[in-house]
Amino acid sequence: MVSQKFEKNERLRLRNDFKKLFDSKGRSVNSYFVLVFRENNLGYSRIAVSIKRKFGKAVLRNKLRRQIKEIYRTNKDKFPQGYDFLFIPRKALSEIYKNLKFSDIKKMIFDNVRKVK
């Protein structure tokens, strides 16, 4: 069974890691999220969430950030292993975000994650 913890080593933190991620060609885009990804050769995946201020107030940005991390934490086995992921919500999501359920956000994320392999 996969651990349900969100360990520190599963977080993207270093500037150099973000630079490598942005320089990579891996992108998966839908109308609500941009997913930037690259292989990391570590044997486990790491994630980060980047939300622009245009998305909305800090309360909404932080709520979405927590929801994305929770989706990753509880569904690690459904994410490809050995990748770095950066989730970037788009403006279209901010316009409908208040009316969405957690399951809707989960579906949007997995629509992008399925395109990784």
Give me the mean pLDDT over the 7-24 stretch. 94
Query: For residue range 70-95, what is the model confidence (pLDDT) as tens digits?
Result: 999 999 999 999 999 999 999 999 99
Across all residues in the chain, what is the average pLDDT? 94
Q: How far apart are CA 35 and CA 37, in angstroms?
A: 6
Give me the mean pLDDT over the 47-76 stretch. 96
What was the pLDDT predicted at 1?
65
How many structural domains comprise the chain?
1
Q: What is this structure's pTM?
A: 0.92
- Kind and range of the H or E element at 57? none
In a domain, 3, yes or no: no
In a domain, 1, yes or no: no
In a domain, 20, yes or no: yes
The confidence band for 4, taking pLDDT boundaries of 50, 70 and 90, is: confident
In a domain, 53, yes or no: yes
Q: What CATH number is associated with residue 85? A: 3.30.230.10
What was the pLDDT predicted at 117?
74
In a domain, 4, yes or no: no
Q: Which domain holds residue 35?
A: 10-113
The confidence band for 6, taking pLDDT boundaries of 50, 70 and 90, is: confident
- Long-range contacts for 67-72 (Cβ within 8 Å, ≥24 apart)? 67/102, 67/105, 68/105, 68/109, 69/6, 71/105, 71/106, 71/109, 72/6, 72/10, 72/47
In a domain, 67, yes or no: yes
Decide: 73 and 4 in contact? Cβ < 8 Å: yes
In a domain, 5, yes or no: no
Provide the token pair at 65.
């950030």
Q: How far apart are CA 90 and CA 46, in angstroms?
A: 21
In a domain, 64, yes or no: yes
Provide the token pair at 102.
């957690």
The separation between CA 40 and the C-alpha centre of its own chain, rounded to angstroms, equals 15
